[in-house]
């Protein structure tokens, strides 16, 4: 499997980093694009430098590099994930702006009929945000929000992050089993706590 992974400047850079680590473990080829504000949130929220995150991907591109493979529909990718996805990036995708690599790659993903998963993060959501997300959903994008589930009794923030990343991977047909690599990603119906 070959994926485009974008990290934009919404809060929740940790989701993008965990996703990249998991995809590496699963031997999925990743082409990473991090927006300028995505780099800021990586630094501010996790303390990691962009280079630390870039090392988790197979290839990295600048957000203004429209020569990158994922800028063209002729380059074959299975899907694209924007994780986390800011409202700015969601709006730009919805409008088909395609003037940065993230927006162009998403535009290509939609026009080629490939899977686009957006882990959107903002709160509260305005009517502008909701209308953009509805339009994207109607275009076939999978809209996910990093809202933690509690039925598996998470013990830590890492548990919550892992669970959201596991559900995101479900959307790509990559199904993690509980306990793999020390993660707690139980599914409803698997030995529920009582």
Q: Does 46 bind ligand FMN (CB under 6 A)?
A: no
User: What is the closest distance, in whole angstroms, from the C-beta atom of residue 138 to ligand FMN in the complex?
Assistant: 20
Find the part of the chain contacting ligand FMN (CB under 6 A) among 7-15, 47-55, 64-72, 177-185: 7-15
41 forms part of the interface with ligand FMN (CB under 6 A): yes
- 38/186 with CB nearer ligand FMN: 38
Residue 89 touches ligand FMN, criterion: CB under 6 A: yes
Smallest separation (angstroms) from ligand FMN to the CB of 39 = 9
Backbone angles phi, psi at 49, to 5 degrees: -85, 155
* Least Å from the CB of residue 82 to ligand FMN: 9
**Which residues share a beta bridge with 3?**
30, 79
Helix (H) or strand (E) holding 117: strand 115-120
Of 87 and 98, CB closest to ligand FMN:
87
Distance CA 19, CA 6 (A): 11
The H or E element that residue 32 is part of is strand 29-34
Helix, strand, coil content of the chain in percent (nearest 5): 40, 15, 40
- Rounded Cα distance between 186 and 114, Å, is 28
Q: Of 169, 109, 166, which is closest to residue 141 (Cα–Cα)?
A: 109
Minimum CB distance to ligand FMN, residue 41 (Å): 5
Residues within window 9-38 making contact with ligand FMN, judged by CB under 6 A: 9-11, 35, 37-38
Interface residues toward ligand FMN, by CB under 6 A:
8-11, 35, 37-38, 40-41, 44, 86-89, 121-122
């Amino acid at each position: 499997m070959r994926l485009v992974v974008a990290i934009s400047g919404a809060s929740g850079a940790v989701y993008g980093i965990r996703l990249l680590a998991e995809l590496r473990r699963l031997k999925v080829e990743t082409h990473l694009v991090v927006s300028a504000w995505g780099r800021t949130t990586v630094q501010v929220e996790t303390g990691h430098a962009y280079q630390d995150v870039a090392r988790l991907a197979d290839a990295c591109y600048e957000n203004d590099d429209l020569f990158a493979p994922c800028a063209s529909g002729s380059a074959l990718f299975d899907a694209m994930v924007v994780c986390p996805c800011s409202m700015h990036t969601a709006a730009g995708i919805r409008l088909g702006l395609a003037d940065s690599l993230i927006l162009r790659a998403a535009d290509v993903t939609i026009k080629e009929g490939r899977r686009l998963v957006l882990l959107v993060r903002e709160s509260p959501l305005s009517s502008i945000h909701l209308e953009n997300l509805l339009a994207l959903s109607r275009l076939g994008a999978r809209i996910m929000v990093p809202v933690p589930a509690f039925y598996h009794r998470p013990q830590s923030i890492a548990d919550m992050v892992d669970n959201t990343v596991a559900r995101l991977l479900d959307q790509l047909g990559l199904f993690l089993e509980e306990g793999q690599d020390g993660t707690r990603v139980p599914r409803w119906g698997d030995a529920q706590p009582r």
